[in-house]
Chain A
């Protein structure tokens, strides 16, 4: 599974990346958390508020920092 965190590099986005990584680790998933900072990529995906999270290309969260619980819930849904 691929977990992408979209964001310009602001503190909120870094926090989101950290939370997603922690969630992946705690659930013991075999997933890579990747940070995407390219504005063009965000534009193409129609992301308008960062931080945003995509799982295998599908955007599941946008505009807020997930809590660890939320992040786990998102990851489990797959």
Chain B
């Protein structure tokens, strides 16, 4: 009953907010019209440039990882007996394979913390998990630039190790007990699974390259056909769950992403350039810090951080603050802060929040000022 009431109240809130917005927005004003058109223009460009050759293959890859790639081998490296030198780096980069969607991050974090390698690796995983996934990296690369995509991934992984180590050295908490891993028996060999994944990666990577269009089209066609042939040779059950998981990702991510892209288009007109420049402009320390804190509090649905940062950059946000916004924006949001505080307790949680903001700021500042 309580859940029902809450849901109805949420619906009411949304409807009321919509009503008030439609009631008060001066639609006859030119700047309001321009902002709305800009939202649709941005949606148009995302639909044309990013959906077919970046997002769709990325969803298929996420589906493949979920269904075909066995995770127990990686999880063993994060178990209670794991050595530091292995568990930290593995935790920092394994987000891409273990947690293809943000809703799987928290249980994994909890498991590593309580039953696995302990607080440090768990925190490392929590920090970098959402940033290191195929879709986020490729969308960043295609929409903003490959330099940002690579530095975003590298900075997240390296900071994750350090944040984990610092947390562990302050609080010294080890996990014990091991995980409850239950995976259904293998239906395909690992060679097949890896090959299947590699073919889809090839499609995605080549799709983003600026090479001779004929070479590009032929590689993409060959890999798409090969994926198709492999898929029809798999057992029906496997194929169905592969398509099912892929569809699930698309369903879960695309509506929010489209909304985020529209919002990004709107703010690129609605926010005055001078305003963005004064808060986030250049690569000053102040704007980098502001970007980190803003990113930490603000909730970005999966991938929506990309169009938002893209718009803010077109309004004058510097590269450094952009990186800081990516780093803190992915790892934290007000809702996730509440959950993390519940899980870790106030002291540990706030130390973690502080470290996230600090590392995002430092990386942003270094990147913004070294590469100018």
- Chain A interfacial positions (CB closer than 8 Å to B): 8, 10-12, 39-40, 42-50, 52, 59-65, 67, 69-70
Contact = CB atoms under 8 A, between A and B. Distances in A.
Residue of B112, B182, B252 contacting most chain A CB atoms (<10 Å): B182
Interface string B115-133: 1100000000000000000
A61 B181 CA distance: 8
B169 interface: no
B111 A43 contact: yes
Nearest to B105: A8
B183 A63 contact: yes
B251 interface: yes
Given A11-B251, A49-B107, A63 B71 contact: yes
B343 A39 contact: yes
Given A11-B252, A39-B342, A39-B343, A65 B107 contact: no
A78 to B, nearest CB: 15
A74 B180 CA distance: 16
B243 to A, nearest CB: 12
Contacts of A8: 103, 106-107
B75 A48 contact: yes
Interface in B65-124: 66-67, 71, 75, 98, 101, 103-104, 106-108, 110-116
A49 B75 CA distance: 11
Nearest to A12: B248
Interface of B: 66-67, 71, 75, 98, 101, 103-104, 106-108, 110-116, 177-184, 237, 240-241, 244-245, 248, 251-252, 339, 342-343
Contacts of B110: 39, 42-43, 48
A49 B111 CA distance: 9
B183 to A, nearest CB: 7
A70 B241 CA distance: 12
Residue of B103, B177, B183, B252 contacting most chain A CB atoms (<10 Å): B103
Given A11-B251, A60-B182, A63-B71, A39 B244 contact: no
Contacts of A42: 107, 110-111
A48 B248 CA distance: 20
B107 A67 contact: no
A49 B72 CA distance: 11
8 contacts: A8-B107, A11-B248, A12-B103, A44-B114, A52-B182, A62-B180, A64-B67, A67-B240
B115 A49 contact: no
B111 A46 contact: yes
A10 B113 CA distance: 22
Contacts of A61: 182, 184
Nearest to A69: B237
A3 to B, nearest CB: 15
A56 B321 CA distance: 51
Nearest to A58: B180
Contacts of B182: 52, 59-63
A40 B183 CA distance: 22
Contacts of A52: 180, 182
A42 B183 CA distance: 17
B69 to A, nearest CB: 11
A48 B125 CA distance: 13
A12 B110 CA distance: 19
